[in-house]
Structure 1
Amino acid sequence: MEILGYFAALLIGLTLGLTGSGGSILTVPILVYLMRLNPVISMAYSLFVVGTTSLVGSYKFYQKELVSFRTAFLFGVPSLLTVFLTRRFIVPAIPEHIAAIGSFNITKGLLLMVLFAVLMIFASMSMIKKQKYIVSTAEQEDHIPNKPALLIQGVSVGLISGMVGAGGGFLIIPALVLFSKLDMRMAVGTSLLIISANSLFGFVGDIFNYNIDWSFLVVFSGLSVVGIFIGSALSHRIHADKLKTGFGWFVLLMGVYIILKEIFLH
């Protein structure tokens, strides 16, 4: 299963390279079900993998001048602080044993996995629906961000990323388009920068709480980064919209499977 897990690490980066988002949602299930890691430590490791992979992806967008550093700062600062505080204080404060309903025990790992599965289902819907976030050319030229809305969204994304170790790109991209008036390609590039900063900053909070297997983490993340370059090389040959829709259905099935496994088949 571990060998399959390392191949799956390539898939994380491959999806990111092909579609610009989405691959990070696979990281936690791969670490839990293929690498057999504890859900809590998997979410910590996911932050490092997602952060490193997204950083490489954001650099590729930066080379094409498709990253708005001003917007990344406005959105990123509240998000960074929230994700760090969540990983440093809130997640460790959740008790290992939360409650018991008859013979069914609600543990910290179970709670976080179910929350992650719910996030997967919402993320999959945004991929399947192919939502268009339309901003007029005049609004893009004025480029006046809605700062209060960005602040609220930044805190929300930071909380979600901190709790379950996912990037939250499906929330960040529409927020950047609607509240910061970026076009879609600029929003994707800026989103990757925000995700990388959020994830790596959140991981710093985990260093104080867990013993980190750095050798494993570097190898796994390295394979994911390799996947980005493979995906980027193939991106001009594959229709990204069709791929994203198919990937959305896969993520939806994975989310449902996790809920069934953790609650009914555990």
Structure 2
Amino acid sequence: MSALILALIAGAVVGLALGALGGGGGVLAVPALIYLLGFTPSAATTAGLLIVTATSLTALWTRARAGHVRWRAGALFAAAGLVPAALAGAAAAHLPQPVLTGAFALLAAAAAVRMLRPARGTGDGSAAPRPGRAAGAGAGLGAVTGLLGVGGGFLAVPALVAVLGLEMQAAVGTSQLVIVGNSLASLATRGFTASGLDWAVIAPFTAAAMLGAWDGKRLAGKLSGPALQRVFAVLLLAVAAFMLVDALS
């Protein structure tokens, strides 16, 4: 199968995940770029950030039109992660490839386990935001985004619910704003690596992901949220196991 077809298929899956669940696009994009399209882990994390940024902007627009974005809360949350994202993005270029692969595998496994756990409840917008916890959660999310090239929506959504008290739909929409901010901050320090990327693969991958995000939003309205999360979690566990074996071999 040609690289173009693989890029289109993988991009569509990434977009569906991000549009339906508010996150998870980068966790699928990076391994797809490495194992299906031949990118190195370092190049894949940079390309993953480019893809996630473009796709998240598409998802952000659709969520904003529906009134599901809390701009002030999202901007404050994202602001705490900008510096950590930039610093981690610069550090990622100096880490050995097996370390990046292994760290990514552990992150994917943690995300899958979280998705399989029963939800503890959702916010209703009435909880009082806790600035210290919000800053800490935003900074941690930014560091993860910068280091591993993922938007971190699967971490941002529960954090926005638990720390800022957003209801689930608003948390999913606002997470797109956080993802865009952190991804752009990381890309600012990774710019010197972008010249070696294969744009003939990244461009169709990104286009398919952006279109998939539209379909993912509609899919989320038709299917059970928990069912979507379980399917995605099982896929993530398989990806994590494969990457961990690869990193250790």
In the superposition, the TM-score normalised over structure 2's length comes to 0.91
Per-residue deviation, residues 136-188 of structure 1 (Å, max 9, x unmatched): x5xx24x5321111111111111111111111122211221121111111111
Confirm or deny: 8 A CA contact 2:22 2:175 kept in the other structure.
no
Divergent runs of 4+, >6 A: none
CA 1:232–1:185 in structure 2 vs 1: closer, same or farther (change >3 Å)? closer
Confirm or deny: 8 A CA contact 1:133 1:174 kept in the other structure.
no
CA 1:234–1:185 in structure 2 vs 1: closer, same or farther (change >3 Å)? closer
Q: Which residue of 2 aligns with 1:104?
A: none
Q: Which residue of 2 aligns with 1:110?
A: 98
Q: Which residue of 1 aligns with 2:129?
A: 145
Distance 1:217 1:51 in 2: 12
In the superposition, the TM-score normalised over structure 1's length comes to 0.86
Q: Which residue of 1 aligns with 2:19?
A: 17
**Matching of residue 91 in structure 1 with residue 79 in structure 2:** no
How many residues align? The count is 246
Distance 1:91 1:14 in 2: 27
- Greater radius of gyration (CA): 1
Distance 1:227 1:158 in 2: 25
Out of 167, 175, 187, the residue aligned to residue 203 of structure 1 is 187
Per-residue deviation, residues 173-206 of structure 1 (Å, max 9, x unmatched): 1221121111111111111110122112311221
Deviation of 1:109 after TM superposition, in Å, equals 0.8
Query: Any gaps of 5 or more consecutive residues in structure 2?
Result: none
Q: Which residue of 2 aligns with 1:182?
A: 166
**Matching of residue 123 in structure 1 with residue 125 in structure 2:** no
Secondary structure (helix, strand or coil) at the match of 1:157 reads helix
Deviation of 1:72 after TM superposition, in Å, equals 1.2
Deviation of 1:215 after TM superposition, in Å, equals 4.4
Confirm or deny: 8 A CA contact 2:23 2:151 kept in the other structure.
no
Distance 1:28 1:160 in 2: 14
Q: Which residue of 1 aligns with 2:231?
A: 246
Q: Which residue of 1 aligns with 2:248?
A: 263
Q: Which residue of 1 aligns with 2:75?
A: 73
Deviation of 1:210 after TM superposition, in Å, equals 4.1
Per-residue deviation, residues 105-162 of structure 1 (Å, max 9, x unmatched): xxx1110010000000000011111323444x5xx24x53211111111111111111
Q: Amino acid of the residue matched to residue 201 of structure 1?
A: A
Deviation of 1:5 after TM superposition, in Å, equals 3.5
Q: Percent identity?
A: 29
Confirm or deny: 8 A CA contact 2:105 2:243 kept in the other structure.
yes
Deviation of 1:39 after TM superposition, in Å, equals 0.7
Secondary structure (helix, strand or coil) at the match of 1:208 reads helix
**Matching of residue 224 in structure 1 with residue 225 in structure 2:** no
Q: Which residue of 1 aligns with 2:219?
A: 234
Q: Which residue of 2 aligns with 1:47?
A: 49
Confirm or deny: 8 A CA contact 1:130 1:245 kept in the other structure.
no
Confirm or deny: 8 A CA contact 1:9 1:221 kept in the other structure.
yes
Query: Any gaps of 5 or more consecutive residues in structure 1?
Result: 95-107
Q: Amino acid of the residue matched to residue 207 of structure 2?
A: G
Secondary structure (helix, strand or coil) at the match of 1:163 reads helix
Distance 1:231 1:245 in 2: 16
Confirm or deny: 8 A CA contact 1:28 1:165 kept in the other structure.
yes
